[in-house]
Structure 1
Amino acid sequence: MSIYFDNAATTAKKPKEVAEAVYQTLLSGEYGNPARGSHDYSLNSFRTVAAVREQIKELVSAPATYEVVFTNNASTSLNMMLKGLIKPNAHVITTSWEHNAVLRPLYQLVATQNVTLDIIESDEITGHLRVSDIEDKITDETTTIVVDHGSNVTGNIIDLEEIKEIAQKYKLTLIVDGSQTMGQYPISLADGVIDAFCFTGHKSLYGPTGTGGICLKRELEKELVPLLTGGDGMQSFSKTQPQELPVLLEAGTMNVAGIRGLSAGIDYVNSLGVASIHEHLLNLSNHFVSGIKDLSNVQLYGQFNAKRCGVVSLNIIGIDSATVSDCLWEDYGIAIRPGYHCAPLMHEALGTKEHGTLRFSFSSFNTLEEVDIAINAISELSKEVDE
């Protein structure tokens, strides 16, 4: 029997209701193309999608000033916001925590739109972000701050309140990548400071792959340039994409079955409660860390006395992370993620550029008994180095 600890990549184990929702949508023959007709088939899909928009807004306490747009994943969401909101010659501030879903679009804007970029650094080993450096980087050309809410490498969670204060003070657009926190850490957009919160559906929301979205301020529709243009079902003779949310960012046919599956995943999260899920993941993470922190040759990365999500990264000094990962799978049946996790600057900061890290990431389906097996495995592998 195998153990899955790669939930930061995707939650492999989903609630059965998620699969049933997708299956029933496709099997029923009752769901057509939303906004593409006035018959029940189209209206069934339209009403379903509209209901899930509201479900997501409730999950993050978003007021009526926000709209939810559905995408394929967080990478699409982030590309839409970065390329749609950041104008030529602008100055942008981001962090060394970022995933390539943020970094590569920004590098592209630097190369093609004369955008300038400052990256806030992190400390070695702990990955502590030097948030206090942000204000020093702000110039007259600064328009945007882009931050990762929770690091997919260290599990550290950023101090969003401090970031929001800076964004408000200087009237900057604030874009947040919530890929690792949505569904497992309490999030509130109630104060209206965050302009765009990007999320994926297939991780801690337990939805199908191919689902994600953005919860963004409606006022942004005035300035957003759509990443994709195409059919919207209503204004067919317009030569441009309609400049209203959500159709501004939802060109083409929507993944109705996936969105219904995502809805079932959110129902599961709500049934347990985000706070309860977070507490469970912290218990698993803390138990794991306590069991390995004093082992010979084990190096942990991250801040363990601060707010965290359910991710723990480590190395067994002297063994390449890919080799350890293979051993964990072949000898113990434990699935984890070795390497760089698409976050190169984080690994440069941690000092793990040459060998990456072993990332253990937990879900609500994991147990303390499974964590004990992982502790034993790491203990045995670390002893092999000494021998």
Structure 2
Amino acid sequence: MSLFLDNAATSFPKPDSVYRAMDAAMREVGVAPGRGGYRQSLAAARIVFAARSALACFFGVSDSSRLIFTHSATESLNIAVNGLLKPGDHVISSTVEHNALLRPLHLARSRGVELTFVQADRDGLVSERDVARAMRPNTRLVALAHCSNVTGTVQPIGEIARSARQGGALLLVDAAQSAGYFPLDMEEDGIDLLAAPGHKGLYGPPGTGILALAEGLRLEPLQVGGTGGNASSPDQPEELPERFESGTTNTPALAGLKAGLDFLLETGMEAVRAKGKLLVEQLLEGLRATPGVTVYGPAQGERGAAVSFNLEGHDPATLGYLLDSGYDIAVRAGLHCAPDVHRTIGTYPGGAVRVSPGFFNREEDISYFLKALHELKSGKGRDF
């Protein structure tokens, strides 16, 4: 099996409990929740309810009905941006956003929404003072990623939340890289809208995501349809979460997501982050000791588990290909769906090679990767 070092894209492997929970939901339940009063449908509804309740508690959402299930963080961000903003509204974002947020914002601009992108520094850090200076009377939303998928830079969300609140704006946080790795509490952190995937730091399967809303927020849904309730009305219900969950729920995936969260809670997020820090520090030390390597992101302080670098004289895409074909190492090369990040750190248009270890990686894996990199640098790489 390949050495998987692309956990910033999706965590792999999943805990065994995730596979078991999904298999049981398919084989033993296998029907839609909320679409019937018979026992199997009620069992499916209990799976969904348990997952929603557990995730709401995990993210500090006091009313679990305000935690909406989606197919991805991307869908969650689209619902947040398109469901909230109206022509004439002003949004503050930054120059280090993933396309999952950047593209919905650009689409909103084509519909009359005003955008300001605060310039991040060379390490990808956004200053809360710059956010405060960008506020206008019509600023409706501040929208930022908590942690970069390229540099691992962690934004000061608490300070930015205070600036947003003082300016009368809402805060939307893209937690794709931080959910399950860094503590997040919507109420304590002052977050109004939280988007997160289920398949990364929460150890759930692909095709799962959440959007959590602060109390009192009303958004327009992206899609409407059957919700399993109030079927006589042609109008989409106002009640949450049904307003945003039309169609048949992917119950097996939510069973897997609940199992992934249970694994995280049983293991302890501090233990997961400690393992990540150990591997990242080993990786950074090895990369920085390699002549010709440039590492991007903060040199000190807290950072996520994504490390991007370039090797002088080597195209990132070719280097990624050689690591895969010659050493069976899976990394991510290119722009990482975040071209503005690469413009900010000076790696556009070629991008960089990203290495992102996960909880199931070992120190030996990092050593093997560094050995492979040294062989490729010296021209003694393996044939393929």
TM-score bin, normalised by smaller chain: over 0.9
Match of 1:291, as an amino acid?
A: G
Q: Partners of 2:96 and 2:12 in 1: how far apart?
A: 24
What is aligned with 1:34? 33
Q: How big is the shift at 1:340?
A: 0.5
**How many angstroms apart in 2 are the aligned matches of 1:354 and 1:319?**
14
Identity %: 35
Post-superposition CA distance 1:294-321 (Å, at most 9, x none)? 3211000000312211110000022110
The equivalent of 1:48 in structure 2 is 47
Shift of 1:271: 1.3
Quote the offset at 1:291 in angstroms: 1.2
Report the secondary structure of 2:235's partner residue. Answer: coil
2:349 is paired with a residue whose SS is coil
Q: Which amino acid in the other structure matches residue 5 of structure 1?
A: L
Unaligned runs of 5+ in 2: none
SS at match of 1:358: strand
- Kindly indicate whether the alpha-carbon contact (under 8 Å) linking 1:152 and 1:341 is maintained by their aligned counterparts in 2: yes
In the alignment, structure 1 residue 286 sits paired with structure 2 residue 281: yes
* SS of corresponding position for 1:61: coil
Could you tell me which of 194, 211, 216 is aligned with 1:197? 194
Aligned to 2:316: 321
Q: Would the alpha carbon gap of residues 192 and 40 (structure 1) be closer, same or farther in structure 2, given more than 3 Å must change?
A: farther
Post-superposition offset of 1:191 = 2.2
TM-superposed CA distance for 1:60, in Å, is: 2.0
Deviation larger for 115-124 or 78-87: 115-124
Partner amino acid for 1:51? A
Q: Does 1:273 align with 2:268?
A: yes
TM-score by length of 1: 0.95
Instruction: Confirm or deny: 8 A CA contact 1:295 1:382 kept in the other structure.
Output: no
CA distance in 2, matches of 1:275, 1:171: 34
1:62-211 matched pairs, under 5 angstroms: 62-64=61-63, 67-112=66-111, 114-124=112-122, 126-191=123-188, 193-211=190-208
Mapped partners of 1:183, 1:21: distance in 2 = 19
Cα distance in 1 for partners of 2:87, 2:373 equals 49
Helix, strand or coil at the partner of 1:106? helix
CA contact (8 A) 1:296 1:383 kept: no
Q: Shift of residue 262 of structure 1? A: 0.6
Q: Cα gap change, 1:295/1:348 in structure 2, threshold over 3 Å: closer, same or farther? A: same
In 2, the alpha carbon distance for the partners of 1:66 and 1:296 equals: 53
Q: Secondary structure in 2 aligned to 1:219? A: coil
Query: Does the 8 A contact of 1:63 with 1:189 survive in 2?
Result: no
**Counterpart contact for 1:127–1:301, Cα < 8 Å:** no
- Kept after mapping to 2: 8 A contact 1:144/1:172: yes
> Would you say the 8 A contact 1:315–1:358 is kept in 2?
yes
1:140 Cα deviation from its structure 2 partner: 1.0
Check the 8 A contact 1:292/1:378 in 2, yes or no.
no
Cα deviation, residue 120, structure 1? 1.3
Alpha-carbon separation, structure 2, partners of 1:91 and 1:190: 24
- What letter matches 1:122 in structure 2? A
Q: 1:34 to 1:66 in 2, by over 3 A?
A: closer
Higher mean alpha-carbon deviation, 302-311 vs 59-68, is at: 59-68
Secondary structure, in 3 states, of the residue corresponding to 1:359? strand
Contact 1:298–1:382, Cα closer than 8 Å, also in 2: no
Question: For 1:179, what is the secondary structure of its paired residue?
Answer: coil
The equivalent of 1:371 in structure 2 is: 366
- Moved >4 Å (runs of 4+): none
The AA in structure 1 aligned to 2:107 is Q
On the 8 A contact 1:66/1:217 being kept in 2, the answer is: no
State the Cα distance separating 1:65 from its structure 2 match.
Answer: 7.8
SS at match of 1:147: strand
Q: Counterpart amino acid of 1:294?
A: A
The one-letter amino acid paired with 1:22 is M
CA shift at 1:192, angstroms?
6.5
In 2, distance between residues paired with 1:298 and 1:291? Answer: 10
Structure 2 CA distance for aligned equivalents of residues 190 and 82 of structure 1 = 20
1:252 has 2:247 as partner:
yes
Out of 221, 228, 243, the residue aligned to residue 238 of structure 2 is 243
Q: What is the aligned partner in structure 1 of residue 348 from structure 2?
A: 353
- Contact 1:185–1:278 (8 Å) recurs in 2: yes
CA distance in 2, matches of 1:162, 1:217: 18
Q: Distance in 1 between matches of 2:93 and 2:99?
A: 12
Query: In the TM superposition, what is the alpha-carbon distance from 1:206 to its structure 2 partner?
Result: 1.2
**How far did residue 377 of structure 1 move?**
1.9
Look up the SS of the partner of 1:171 in the other structure: coil
Q: Deviations over 1:6-28 (max 9, x none)?
A: 01111121111111111111111
Aligned residue in 1 for 2:375: 380
Structure 1 window deviating more from structure 2 (241-250 vs 211-220): it is: 211-220
| Range with greater deviation from structure 2 (189-198 or 318-327) | 189-198
Q: Post-superposition shift, 1:355?
A: 1.1
Does the residue aligned with 1:117 lie in a helix, a strand or coil? strand
- How far off its partner does 1:189 sit? 2.0
- Paired with 1:329 and 1:32, the residues of 2 have a C-alpha distance of 40
- Distance in 2 (CA, whole Å) between partners of 1:277 and 1:99 is 24
